[in-house]
Amino acid sequence: MLNGGNRFQTRLASSLSNALANTNFLGRALRGGISQFENPKWDNFEKTGMRRREALLTHSVSGSLLHQQEPTAYGAAYGGRYNAYANVLYHTLDAEKSNRIYEYRLMAAFPEVANCIEEYTDNFIWEDERGHVVNLRYTDEDLPEEQVKDLEQEFQIFVGHFDFKNNGAQMCKDYITDGELFYEYLIDNSSPENRKRGILGVQRLQTELMEAVYKDKINGIVGAFIGRNIVYNDQTKNQVMINNVPYHPNEIFHIHSGTWDPSGEWVIPFIERARKPYVQLSYLEDAIVIYRLVRAPERLIFDIDTGNMPPHEAEAYIQSVQQEYWRSKSFDLDKADIIHKFEPQSMLDAFFLARSNGMEAVKIEQLAGGQNLGQLDDLQFFLKALYRALRIPVTYLNEDATAAVDPSSTLRDELRFAKRIIGFQNKFAQGLRDGFITHLKLTGKYDEYQLKETAFEIKFCPPSNYYELRRKQAIQLDATAFNAIVGNDCISKSWAMKRVWGLTNAEIKQNQRLLMIDAINQWKVEQAKANGPYWETAAALAMAQGGMEGGEGGDMGGDFGGGDMGMDMGGDFGGGDDIDFSDDDLDSMESDLEGAEEVL
């Protein structure tokens, strides 16, 4: 199969020899002739990429990287169900990858499923204040500033090859639908100088034509990727042959859902979790349409008076009347004669019925069509089941009904939805990190800067509402705990403010000042409601008259001016709009808090 004299094929055989036994696809590929097409860039990626994970596994107690997952007894049937009903609802996964992906794409084209996927794609790409979708974060704080700037520049060039701003939504959709993404890293290996330019671009590879050959499937160690290159006849456009192209693991950007079918044979996408509600919903929609078509027409009830006829004569009479109204006379050109043609009664027909003297006339009543055609509770149930299966908040289904939903559950669902998007972003970030290390090793900067694989990490900008949701959730939890604590008479409210809200003594004193200001403003509003908008002027006049008559003015002036409230109300009674607190006024207020401050 493999020519041992060729260095490329020898390295490929060494890399994959231990994976042949448990990989059916690779066996088929090698039998089909993998040597038909060589990869001239295999050696260029040999010493690139992340090697730490594979190196650590060599120190495993098992002492081997050959942890191929054995197929289980489930076979290809998802969930181990084999009867006809289960094959409809749960489906049987096709052994051919292209057929499986085709079915998933059909599922993704279903309108309700497409709406759910769009909720993810619309929230997948976000930009920060610099316009960046993806950012490089450094865990090594000792990196010199010049190296950080150089790495940042290289990273933006590398990420620019994917163009996430324009392609990110489609990439997210394909990842959710297909379960895998493959991109080939393009380099120029015509000379050592050109090779040091690193990765120059990326090219999308068809998911259904790519297979990962695992050295250790449990730990995700890939030995190689095998791609099928279909060759067509230029004239007839027919398929001529298939070339099996091997790719080095570091040559491919590859991410997958991380979920396997029960047999451990194939990667299944995120959309698979919605298969059952999708099938039920699609069948139910068709059934509802059929039911409405059948039950919608209105029918007629003929109440025919048969008098004292015997039952058999009455039945015959009714049949004759029925045939009379269900047939119409028409002329047949072929027979040149009048024929009776079957024609069910139309709703627009007029009826002319004879009535004998003293006999009851024939009654024709209208039987209405289906009365419950507008009830869609069963459809809504399965539609909600589809949204729940795809982890979409049910409030997205009917935004008008959000008021009837518990706010706490809404916040929880929104937060779970945001975390799911961040989980997708982390999958992409992991693949980008592997590719960026490959790029740095090709350029030589990885060794030049003596970097480590743990020196940096890659993060996408999370959904804009994620941190806001987290903040609201934290406030909600703290408020619940605070209200529960202050409800206990044995615990001080100030102590609860310090322990739950984390307020300092200064912040507690400032809060108490604001409470006093709010109380005074509220008192002014109540005075205006009770005495009218000019209550301040009236109060000032009353004070002036009281001062002339005796000591009442002095007492009131003392009370309002310098005593308990610690503020000068003269300006306010003179027509001022706001309460003006001077530093002396605030210091006077603080005197009432000295005892509490000592306790705190």
Residue pair 39/8 in contact (Cβ under 8 Å)? The answer is yes
Identify which has the larger pLDDT, 180 or 316: 180
Under DSSP, the state recorded for 225 is E
Average pLDDT over residues 336-348: 60
Question: Rounded to the nearest 5°, which phi and psi values hold at 464?
Answer: -60, -30
The most confident of the ranges 163-177, 229-243, 297-311, 491-505 is 163-177
Residue pair 320/329 in contact (Cβ under 8 Å)? The answer is no
Same domain, 236 and 307: no
HSE-CB at 578 with a 13 A cutoff on CA atoms is 3
Q: pLDDT at residue 195 above 70?
A: yes
Same domain, 250 and 302: no
How far apart are the C-alpha atoms of 414 and 396, rounded to whole Å?
A: 10
Average pLDDT over residues 518-543: 82
Same domain, 593 and 515: yes
**Within 10 A of 503 (CB to CB), how many other CB atoms are there?**
16
Identify which has the larger pLDDT, 527 or 346: 527
Measured between alpha carbons, how far is residue 599 from residues 233, 480, 500, 507 in Å?
A: 90, 25, 17, 15
Residue 29 corresponds to which tokens in the numbers above?
């590929």
Q: pLDDT at residue 352 above 50?
A: no
Residue 385 corresponds to which tokens in the numbers above?
């089941």
Residue-level pLDDT at 566:
40
Residue pair 262/78 in contact (Cβ under 8 Å)? The answer is yes
Long-range contacts of 57-62 (CB under 8 A, 24+ apart): 57/216, 57/219, 57/221
Length of the chain: 600
Give a yes or no: residue 192 inside a domain.
yes
Question: Rounded to the nearest 5°, which phi and psi values hold at 165?
Answer: -60, -40
The share of the chain scoring above pLDDT 90, in percent, equals 28
Encode pLDDT of 78-97 as tens digits: 444 445 555 555 556 788 89
Identify which has the larger pLDDT, 512 or 166: 166
Average pLDDT over residues 165-172: 95
Give a yes or no: residue 187 inside a domain.
yes
Residue linked to tokens 């005075």: 527
Q: How buried is residue 177: exposed, middle or buried, by Cβ count under 10 Å (0-12/13-18/19+)? A: buried
Under DSSP, the state recorded for 345 is P
Average pLDDT over residues 463-485: 76
Identify which has the larger pLDDT, 211 or 78: 211
- The residue from 256, 280, 309 where one domain ends is 256
Give a yes or no: residue 96 inside a domain.
no
Same domain, 565 and 508: yes
Residue-level pLDDT at 1:
37
Identify which has the larger pLDDT, 151 or 331: 151
Same domain, 304 and 241: no
Same domain, 41 and 184: yes
The number of helices, as runs of H, and strands, as runs of E, in the chain is 22, 12
Lowest mean pLDDT among 55-69, 219-233, 302-316: 55-69
Lowest mean pLDDT among 97-111, 270-284, 542-556: 542-556
**Within 10 A of 292 (CB to CB), how many other CB atoms are there?**
13
Angle at which helices 164-178 and 111-122 pack, to 10 degrees? 140
Residue-level pLDDT at 77:
40
If one counts the domains in the chain, the total is 3
The share of the chain scoring above pLDDT 70, in percent, equals 65
Encode pLDDT of 391-403 as tens digits: 998 888 875 544 4
Q: pLDDT at residue 69 above 60?
A: no
Identify which has the larger pLDDT, 287 or 296: 287
Q: pLDDT at residue 520 above 80?
A: yes
Same domain, 42 and 185: yes
Residue 306 corresponds to which tokens in the numbers above?
């048969």
Same domain, 185 and 59: yes
Residue linked to tokens 């009379």: 324
Residue pair 165/127 in contact (Cβ under 8 Å)? The answer is yes
- The residue from 256, 276, 307 where one domain ends is 256
- The residue from 206, 227, 256 where one domain ends is 256
Q: pLDDT at residue 382 above 80?
A: yes
Q: pLDDT at residue 468 above 80?
A: no
Under DSSP, the state recorded for 232 is E
Residue-level pLDDT at 101:
94
Same domain, 512 and 588: yes
Q: Provide the 3-class DSSP secondary structure of residue 229.
A: strand
Average pLDDT over residues 111-131: 92
Residue pair 383/285 in contact (Cβ under 8 Å)? The answer is no
pLDDT band at 432 (very low <50, low <70, confident <90, very high): very high
Give a yes or no: residue 390 inside a domain.
no
Residue-level pLDDT at 547:
60
Q: pLDDT at residue 286 above 70?
A: yes
**Within 10 A of 12 (CB to CB), how many other CB atoms are there?**
21
Residue-level pLDDT at 446:
92
Identify which has the larger pLDDT, 384 or 469: 384
Under DSSP, the state recorded for 92 is B
Range of the domain at 562: 504-599
Same domain, 184 and 58: yes
Convert 439-459 to b/e letters by CB count within 10 Å (16 or more is b).
bbbbbebbeebebeeebbebe
Q: Provide the 3-class DSSP secondary structure of residue 242.
A: strand
Q: How buried is residue 251: exposed, middle or buried, by Cβ count under 10 Å (0-12/13-18/19+)? A: buried
Residue pair 169/408 in contact (Cβ under 8 Å)? The answer is no
Q: Please enumerate in sequence order all residues whose Cβ is within 8 A of that of 361, keeping only pairs 6 or more positions apart, or say none.
A: 305, 353, 355
Q: How buried is residue 125: exposed, middle or buried, by Cβ count under 10 Å (0-12/13-18/19+)? A: buried
Residue-level pLDDT at 426:
95
Residue-level pLDDT at 179:
94
Give a yes or no: residue 586 inside a domain.
yes
Give a yes or no: residue 318 inside a domain.
yes
In 331-465, alpha helices (H):
377-389, 407-443, 445-448
Residue linked to tokens 């090859």: 161
Maximum pairwise Cα distance, the chain: 127
Q: pLDDT at residue 298 above 50?
A: yes
Same domain, 310 and 245: no
Convert 163-172 to b/e letters by CB count within 10 Å (16 or more is b).
ebeeebbebb
How far apart are the C-alpha atoms of 254 and 509, rounded to whole Å?
A: 57
**Mean pLDDT for the chain?**
75
Q: Please enumerate in sequence order all residues whose Cβ is within 8 A of that of 535, keeping only pairs 6 or more positions apart, or say none.
A: 527, 528
> pTM of the entire structure?
0.66
Average pLDDT over residues 422-428: 94
Identify which has the larger pLDDT, 365 or 215: 215
Give a yes or no: residue 553 inside a domain.
yes
Residue-level pLDDT at 358:
56
Q: pLDDT at residue 359 above 50?
A: yes
How far apart are the C-alpha atoms of 285 and 111, rounded to whole Å?
A: 12
Residue-level pLDDT at 585:
52
pLDDT band at 343 (very low <50, low <70, confident <90, very high): low
Give a yes or no: residue 213 inside a domain.
yes
Lowest mean pLDDT among 28-42, 373-387, 536-550: 28-42
Residue-level pLDDT at 142:
83
Residue-level pLDDT at 307:
74
HSE-CB at 256 with a 13 A cutoff on CA atoms is 16
Nearest Cα residue to 252 out of 183, 206, 186, 189: 183
How far apart are the C-alpha atoms of 566 and 428, rounded to whole Å?
A: 63
Residue-level pLDDT at 121:
94
Q: pLDDT at residue 278 above 90?
A: yes
How far apart are the C-alpha atoms of 414 and 37, rounded to whole Å?
A: 49
Q: pLDDT at residue 213 above 70?
A: yes
Residue-level pLDDT at 19:
46
Same domain, 305 and 362: yes
Residue 234 corresponds to which tokens in the numbers above?
């230029």
Under DSSP, the state recorded for 267 is B
